[in-house]
Structures are given as C-alpha cells and as structure tokens.
C-alpha cells in the first residue's frame, strides 16, 4: 500500500471551548441542477464509472453539502468537515485502507483543533475516523486502525492547516456498495477564532489513496497514482448576521377612540412567488454489477452455471431522473411522463445483441396504468425480464421502437390524459448485453485480458402527456444528460472452461499440457497464460497462474479484475 508522506511536525490549534453553535445553511452538491442521482453528479461533473471523494461542509444531515454559511457572532464556535467517498462504478468494492489530507489554507478563519489525547488505534482524534455509531453513513468493521493522524502535519505552515489521516482494516473491511450514496470516512473539526473576518475559505483534499482488500488502488487524486478518481472541495462563507428589525415604542400611547374609519386595508394582490427552477432531467445507465461482462457458457456440468450478474450477459437499466412537468390541465397533479425517445448505439463486433425492452409503461413499471407495452399473457404474471411471452402483443417493446444491427431506437407513446410518473429512479427501459461469441477466439484467460466497449445513448427526449419537454430540456426537447456506459468484456483469469470459476477442472486441464511448446501437438495458445503476451510455451508460470487462482469466481475474482477505465472524453 502506498504509504503517506513523512510528517514534519504538529502545530497546536486553539483550545477555545465550544460556544454558540455555527449557523450552517448548506446546498447539497449539484442539488440545484441534479437532484436524482444526488451523489452521482457533483455540480455538472458526472462521476459515472468512477470512485470519488467529496468534502461535506454540513455534517448535520446525510446530504453532501457545498457551500455552507458561517455566521460571525463574535463568540467562540466550531465547524466540522466530513471527507466522504462515493462509488459510481455500478459494482461494489471492499474499502480496506485509505489516506488523505484535508488542506485548510486560512487559519485566521478555520484552525484545526488539536485533540486532548490521541492514542492507539487513533480512531477518535482529529481527523476523527467515523464509524456507524458516529455517522449513519460511517464505515463498518471493527478492525480499523488509524496512524498517523495529525491535525497539522506542517508546523512551518503559518497560514494553513493540513490534516492527515491514514487507516487500514486488514480483516473485516466494509463493503462500498454501488452508488449513488456516500460513506463518511473521517471528520476534521475546526475552531472559528473570535477575530475571524468576513470572507471565504475553500478546504480541499489532496494525497488521496483508496485501496481494497487486495491492496489494489480503487482511486487516487491530487495527485493521481494509478486509478483516477474525482475529488471535490467545499467552501465556507463567513458573514456577519443580518440586523434584526426590532421595533421600539418611543411614542406615548394615545387612548383608543371608537371613531370608525373607512380606511381600506391594503391587501396585496398578484404577489409573485419565487418558484424554484426544477433540476435538469435526463437518462443514466445503471448496470446490475460492475462494468465487467464475463464470457461464460452453460455446457460444463450440472448446476447454475452463468447465473450470476455479468456472467454471460449483463443487465442494464435506462433510468430517468428529475422528471418534472407542468400541470397543463389544471387538476393540481403534475402531467407526468407520457413518452420518450432515445437511441442506444453499440459495437456489434463486441456485443452480439442487447435484447431491448421498454419497461416504464409495462404492467410492473412506474407508468403501468398508461400502457401500451404488453408483457402479460393468460398463463404467466408480469414478465419483468422481458423475455417473449407466447401470444403477447408487443413482448416488451413499444410500437415506435426500432431494432437494427447496432442501434436500438427506443420510442414509446401513450394515449389519454392519465398522469404519468414523475420524480427520479424511474426505470424507462432495459438492455441485456450478450457478448459476441467470436471474442473467445480473440481473448484468452491470461493476465489483464479484456476489451473495452461503450454503450452510448443519443438523442434523449422525455415529454409529458401533452407532448411538452420535461423541465430542463434543451435544443427543442433534448435532455441535457444522456448517459453512456463503459463495459469491459473479458474472461475470468485462469478460467479455462469458461464456467466463471477456477477449480480442479481448470487445474487438470493446464497440468496435462505442462512442458508443451509452440509447434508441438500439446501446445495451445489458450493455455499459454503468462506473461500477458504469449511466450510460446506452457511452463511453471502458466501452471501457477491457474493453481494460484483456485476458488476464484466471476463474482469474486482472485485477485481483483477491475473494469478498464473509460476512454478519454467519456461522458462528454
């Protein structure tokens, strides 16, 4: 594991007692524009396919807030910042180690508190490791140990604090589930000096390294070491509280008289209201697991072979979020989603078929009362997986959807004035990605195998039941966000029979070819696993490649096989 930089010293921070609480009014990251996948987007940045770090300036709620306002009351007070991690890779990971430094550039407004005691395992220092007892989004596991922990690692820094924490959990690391939520790793507490002046302070993370249980880097930033991740700062705005308009009674009261007056009451009419602008609507792909799609076949023996997520096929949902519409018919109910249109493009040399299915207006979808998708027949319940039902009318496809060789054009309309669904997390359609069978001739179960492909959305349009674009649409009706998905099609390393596990069958297969070389009858490129490129023999390295992976499965590869990083410009 990458060790944190050497520490130079420890600067004592102010020991001022906690006084009047800070008034913190925070706006969650991007909440003005992207409320649905609140932790997938930070401002305009799409974190899809990445791990990312965000600093939260308001620790009183579950949102990740930026910026926050601090009222300068003239009394001693403290503020706190949480450093959180988000997983937007669509697959879970184990969080076994991390280190980061929170950089505060201005000690005249924020001065890191030095804890009274900081003893092993150093979980309650400053920064303070956050477990589930201290935060509902804290880290689980009982074997955590944090060292070093220092509120200021640079004693020569006269104007700022750099708060460092480095923690490991080798035996029971918690699971970092797929997004969009965050987990809180640590909290840095700052004194706000009484003499603090009006202004702003932005605190940011640097030297960030996150690792899983195999000491494989999940992400790093500022600087990037191996795996790129996004890191977002937060800003505290220090202001003087606005004056309170307290009326004073300086006039001598005059006894009331019963003289009626015909003075009309000035009741204002047509008072304008500040209606908040709805956030942009759009589509985002969500895969059932990480971005891996493993080649797998169902021919090797009994049992549920190729039954796990991403084994032989990968289920992907097209999810709509921030669906906000008007109330054209004036019945006080939002008109809701009435139709949608978008195209999915894919490389048919990598993905053989996508098995498209319209979901939202089916019998189990969010707009089930709308029709017209028919997934029901007399002998079966709602066909949630969109496989064909005998006798069904549309078999999970809206009438305007078109399927071609490498493009699926989704188009679905409804009739009548029944309100459609609104809000977020609405599954519009689904895809079942099946890898091309010829890839088994191009890939082999060796090191770092895999081919990266992008499932791309274009021309996303969402409209209400009267044909009006949903709020936030641009350019005549296109949604601002139309999400893509990066998928790595690959083979489980050492899985010679493509049944998504490495077992004695695989070990026997390669052992029987030990000593084979190019040109001999026993040689096979499929078994020439090590190094990454064939070295034209099957020797002890190739044998160990399989024997060292006994027990590995597609759901839990040993060692990990993280998806390939998205291409440059992905998501633009």
Residue 150 pLDDT: 79
218 exposure class (CB count in 10 Å sphere: 0-12, 13-18, 19+): buried
CB atoms within 10 A of CB 179: 21
CB atoms within 10 A of CB 290: 23
Residue 526 pLDDT: 84
10 exposure class (CB count in 10 Å sphere: 0-12, 13-18, 19+): middle
CA 314 centroid distance within chain: 19
CATH code, residues 282-490: 2.60.40.680
What string of pLDDT tens digits covers the 572 residues of the chain? Answer: 333 333 223 222 222 222 322 333 344 443 333 333 345 666 667 778 889 999 999 888 777 888 888 888 878 899 999 999 998 887 889 999 999 999 999 888 898 988 777 888 999 999 999 999 898 889 999 999 998 887 765 444 455 788 999 999 989 999 988 766 689 999 999 999 888 888 888 999 999 999 999 989 999 999 999 999 999 999 898 887 755 544 444 444 445 445 444 544 444 333 333 333 335 578 888 887 778 899 988 655 555 678 888 888 888 888 888 888 888 888 888 888 888 889 999 888 898 888 887 777 765 566 756 655 544 333 444 444 565 555 555 556 676 778 888 888 888 887 777 778 888 888 888 888 889 888 888 888 888 888 888 888 888 988 888 888 888 888 778 888 888 888 899 999 988 888 888 888 888 888 888 888 888 888 888 888 877 777 888 888 888 888 888 988 988 898 888 888 777 655 55
Residue 158 pLDDT: 52
Going from N- to C-terminal start, the domains of the chain cover: 41-239, 282-490, 504-547
- Closest C-alpha among 283, 284, 428, 433 to residue 359: 428
Residues 490-503, buried b or exposed e (16+ Cβ, 10 A)?
bbbbbbbbbbbbbb
pTM over 0.85: no
Alpha-carbon distance of 215 to 560, in angstroms, equals: 10
- Beta-bridge partners for 239: 71
Residue 402 pLDDT: 80
Residue 363 pLDDT: 57
Query: Which residues, other chains included, contact 213 with Cβ-Cβ below 8 Å and sequence gap of 6+?
Result: 94, 96, 170, 173
Residues 451-472, buried b or exposed e (16+ Cβ, 10 A)?
bbbbbbbeebbbbbbeeebbbb
Residue 104 pLDDT: 92
Domain spanning 41-239, CATH architecture:
Sandwich (2.60)
Residue 196 pLDDT: 85
**Same fold flag, 41-239 and 282-490:** yes
Residue 444 pLDDT: 86
Query: Which residues, other chains included, contact 29 with Cβ-Cβ below 8 Å and sequence gap of 6+?
Result: 38, 39, 41, 42, 43, 54, 64, 65, 66, 232
Residue 302 pLDDT: 52
Residue 369 pLDDT: 60
């Amino acid at each position: 594991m990458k060790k944190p930089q050497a520490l130079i010293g420890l600067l004592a921070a102010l020991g001022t007692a906690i006084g009047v609480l800070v008034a913190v009014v925070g706006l969650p990251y991007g909440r003005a524009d992207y409320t649905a996948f609140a932790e997938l987007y930070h401002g305009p940045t799409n974190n899809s396919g990445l791990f990312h770090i965000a600093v939260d300036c308001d620790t009183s709620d579950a949102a990740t807030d930026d910026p926050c306002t601090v009222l300068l009351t003239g009394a001693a007070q403290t503020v706190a910042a949480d450093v959180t991690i988000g997983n937007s890779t669509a697959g879970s990971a184990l969080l076994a180690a991390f280190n980061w430094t929170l950089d505060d550039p201005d000690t005249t407004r924020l001065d890191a508190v030095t804890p009274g005691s900081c003893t092993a395992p150093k979980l309650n220092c400053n920064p303070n490791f956050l477990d589930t007892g201290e935060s509902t989004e804290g880290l689980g596991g009982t074997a955590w140990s944090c060292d070093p922990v220092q509120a200021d690692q640079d004693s020569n820094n006269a104007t700022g604090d750099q708060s460092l924490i480095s923690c490991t959990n080798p035996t029971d690391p918690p699971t970092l589930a797929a997004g969009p939520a965050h987990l809180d790793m640590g909290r840095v507490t700052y004194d706000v000096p009484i003499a603090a002046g009006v202004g702003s302070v932005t605190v940011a993370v640097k030297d960030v390294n996150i690792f899983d249980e195999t000491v494989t880097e999940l992400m790093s930033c500022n600087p990037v070491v191996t795996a790129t991740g996004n890191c977002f700062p937060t800003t505290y705005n220090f202001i003087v509280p606005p004056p309170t308009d307290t009326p004073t009674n300086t006039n001598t009261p005059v006894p009331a008289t019963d003289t009626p007056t015909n003075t009309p009451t000035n009741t204002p009419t047509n008072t304008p209201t500040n209606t908040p602008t709805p956030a942009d609507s759009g589509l985002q792909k969500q895969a059932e697991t990480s971005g891996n799609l493993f080649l797998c076949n169902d021919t090797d023996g009994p049992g549920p072979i190729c039954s796990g997520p991403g084994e032989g096929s990968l289920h992907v949902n097209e999810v709509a979020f921030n669906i906000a519409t008007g109330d054209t018919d004036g019945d006080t109910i939002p008109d809701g989603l009435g139709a949608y249109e978008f195209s999915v493009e894919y490389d048919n040399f990598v993905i053989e078929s996508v098995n498209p299915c319209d979901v939202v207006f089916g019998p189990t979808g969010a707009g089930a009362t709308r029709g017209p998708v028919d997934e029901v027949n007399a002998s079966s319940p709602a066909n949630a997986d969109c496989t064909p039902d005998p006798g069904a009318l549309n078999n999970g496809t809206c009438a305007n959807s078109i399927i071609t060789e490498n493009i699926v054009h989704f188009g679905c309309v409804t009739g009548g004035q029944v309100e459609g669904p609104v809000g977020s997390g609405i599954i519009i359609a689904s895809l079942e990605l099946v890898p091309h069978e010829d890839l088994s001739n191009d890939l082999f179960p060796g090191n770092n195998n895999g081919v990266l492909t992008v499932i791309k959305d274009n021309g996303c349009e969402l409209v209400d039941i009267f044909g009006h674009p949903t709020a936030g649409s641009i350019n005549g009706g296109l949604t601002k966000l139309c999400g893509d998905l990066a998928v790595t099609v690959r083979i489980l390393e050492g899985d010679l029979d493509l049944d998504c596990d490495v077992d004695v069958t695989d070990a026997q297969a390669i052992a029987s070819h030990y000593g084979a070389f190019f040109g001999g009858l026993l040689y096979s490129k499929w078994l020439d696993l090590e190094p990454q490129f064939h070295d034209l023999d099957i020797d002890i390295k190739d044998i160990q490649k399989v024997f060292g992976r006994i027990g590995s499965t597609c759901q839990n590869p040993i060692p990990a096989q993280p998806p390939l990083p998205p291409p440059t410009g992905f998501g633009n």
